[in-house]
Amino acid sequence: MQQERELILNGNIRKLLIKFSLPATIGLIVSALYNIIDTLYVGNALGPLAIAGLAFVLPVQILMFAVGFMVGTGASSIISRSLGKGDKEKAIITAGNGMILTCIISILFMVPCFILIDKILYFFKVSPEVFQYSRDYMFIILTGFVFLSFSVVGNNLIRAEGKPKAAMYPLIFGAVLNIILDPVFIFIFKMGVRGAAIATVLSQFLSLIYIFIYFNYGKSIFKINLLMFKVNFPVIRDILKIGFPSFLMSIVDCVIFVLFGRTIMKYGSDLYIAIMGISIRVMDITLMPIIGITQGFSTIISFNYGAKNYGRVKKVLKEAIIWTTVVAGFAFIIIFGFPNFILRIFSSDQEMIKIGIMPIRILSIFFVTIGFQFIGGNLFQAIGKALPALFLNITRQVIILIPAILILPVFFGLNGIWYSLPLCDLLTTILTAILLLNELKLINRLLLKDAPNSSLADSSSSS
């Protein structure tokens, strides 16, 4: 552990960012294939209506991921900063309390979703033609609620202790299993969308088993024992405080997707729901390298901020913004330039392809700014400042995007729904820049008070 700590605090920044981001990026890209592969196989086997059926379940899947991401983000921030200070005991206690929280919160959400499944889908405005697809898929996916949440938390814990490659393997393992099992259940067993869901849940479960095996037998400080599960309410409070902005953002995402779906059904049809589902999944997989860099950035920032290495914090921030913007720019060229090709991968339905080109292009107009938004918002979580991160998330989703979805279609019809996202990206980028500049001013003041650490940061970053 000491070797990883020294590397994070003193190693070459660019090489360090690549080391921590590349495994996370590979793992996330492969992990994103869960939904991509489900949609691809289902679309080619059953058509656009089945794709729409899966798209309606997206808010529930976001909720499942949100629980793990909230606890994982909060716990990993505390763990990385604790290890940066050399406090291994607190890091282990935090991991144990994070696991307890994940189990409790997952069950609290999973049970009502099972009981109210039909009412939830009716509220989503699922059409009669699509309803059974959505219900079959959602019912089985819910059985994997705890598996998915635990997997997300476990992956964050591994990364937080400075083991980015080890965190990559369970993601790849689960995703490869899903890619193999999907055609088996869909085509060989002829189970349709239920087969896709079974393959996904089974893959998530086996991925979780992999993580627990790693904790017990791998080079991890988180050996599973009763002592790490001793309830510590101050730690639980800090996990929730730091992770809540991520959770709130995900909950609002659920609301937004429901709102998207209901508004699309008001101005359009199931085909446009399918187009939305494809667009979201394509953008998700192009976001994975950006999220991977953000996760690597978060661990490095937390360590250095905890060690009061403020000059190095600034240099890591600059490097991460540059690379995420490059990745986002490349993704924009692919999505905006080749929407026809993207749609054909998922379905041969000519009508859907024809009407889907323009929405995809509109949605991607300001995609190039997304990396800056991610890094800017994540900085505050990584250094333990939950309020600015919460403010950014609420402003983006609640104050800007939701009103845009409701208002723009009144003037522009169906296209107004698509216009809402690029407008949100533009305004959020401006707000993120303002808050980030203010935070950099505070970091500069800390540098003036801590000249020895600043000098260390300058010399180490040039190595």
Which residue range forms the structural domain that includes residue 231?
Answer: 2-461
- What total number of domains does the chain contain? 1
* % pLDDT > 90, the chain: 55
Token pair, residue 83, equals 């290890």
Report pLDDT for 1.
Answer: 54
CA distance linking residue 185 with residue 191, whole number of Å = 6
pLDDT (tens digit per residue) in 284-331: 888 889 988 988 888 888 888 877 888 888 888 999 999 999 999 999
Minimal CA–CA distance to 331: which of 367, 359, 362? 367
462, pLDDT greater than 60: no
Are 422 and 373 in contact by the 8 Å Cβ rule? The answer is: no
Cβ neighbourhood burial of 56 (10 Å; 0-12, 13-18, 19+):
buried
| φ/ψ (deg, to 5) at 349 | -65, 115
Containing H/E element for 48? helix 48-56
Are 112 and 104 in contact by the 8 Å Cβ rule? The answer is: no
Cβ neighbourhood burial of 449 (10 Å; 0-12, 13-18, 19+):
exposed
Distances (CA, A) of 55 to 124, 197, 231: 11, 13, 38
pLDDT (tens digit per residue) in 76-94: 989 988 987 888 999 999 9
Token pair, residue 383, equals 């250094």
CA distance linking residue 151 with residue 236, whole number of Å = 19
457, pLDDT greater than 50: no
CA distance linking residue 368 with residue 363, whole number of Å = 11
H helix and E strand count, the chain: 20, 0
pLDDT (tens digit per residue) in 161-188: 878 788 888 888 988 898 899 999 998 9
